[in-house]
Structure 1
């Protein structure tokens, strides 16, 4: 377990719901990855992410899927691709990433509470 943080620190992390609008293989990445374009609603717009989620997902299976992502990290260069958000997931027993998502449809851009 990590060290405790103040609730105000947690509130600084802006986690939103978005829908994957586009996904492409990213074979140039050091570890197998997929490039994602995620619509986080009218306030935030579309952001790009590189995600190491190839154990459970193909680019085609991600289109239209809602995901949770951190939208207020600074952009990060991943090879030749600029990642603008962090899509959230958890590791399965074999280390494959399983995406975190709402269990019912919600509007894009909705903030996690």
Structure 2
């Protein structure tokens, strides 16, 4: 039996964009959005390597639409979960009528 996962997506206001952490062969950056609604919550996402470019044009207080994959791993009896963003859209519809999107498909990134 084959199962298919639906892509996860969340919208919110960016409240934090961290600096880029680098290693020899990798780079990682984290950002936080705050969801709207009756029970707003803050959610931290990570972007890795070339996907860090997605955050170059994002600013705190921008409305973002984030598509992501969750992953969990066990280390010494404790579980750790990371939300890795693979698409970030800055929603300018309410201000200038344009959207900025960066997606990485088949290992190739492009800013549209």
Q: TM-score, normalised by structure 1?
A: 0.48
Larger radius of gyration: 2
Per chain length, whose mean CA-contact separation is higher, i.e. which structure has more relative contact order (CA < 8 Å, sep 6+)?
1
Q: TM-score, normalised by structure 2?
A: 0.48
Higher-strand-fraction structure: 2
